[in-house]
Amino acid sequence: MYKTEITLDVNNEQRTVYVRNADLLLDVLREPLGLTGAKPGCLNGDCGTCTIEVDGETMKACLMLAVEAVGKKSQRLKA
């Protein structure tokens, strides 16, 4: 299993993690980064329990690859 090093800007902190290209942002936030505010619900983009804010827009973290989040200015979990 090949992993890539990426740096994510999460809650105004630069966090470097090793991810598979296929890893969902939701799983990366919860597992290696330990940020459990985004909840795994339907994992199909329907329920919204994993909603976060990316570059000022709400996003479902289960519908986003972690590698897609590279370079985004801000990723802050909603309260």
Instruction: Give the interface with another protein as residue ranges (CB under 8 A).
Output: 1-2, 4, 20-24, 27, 43-45, 48, 51, 57-60, 62-65, 67-68
Give the SS3 label for residue 58: strand
Minimum Å gap between C-beta 45 and another protein is: 5
Q: Which residue has the tokens 């804010």?
A: 53
Task: Give the largest CA-CA distance in the chain.
Answer: 34
Residue number with CB closer to another protein (10 or 59): 59
CA angle (37, 38, 43) in 5-degree steps: 155
For another protein, the closer CB: 36 or 58 = 58
Q: Which is nearer to another protein, 10 or 64 (CB)?
A: 64
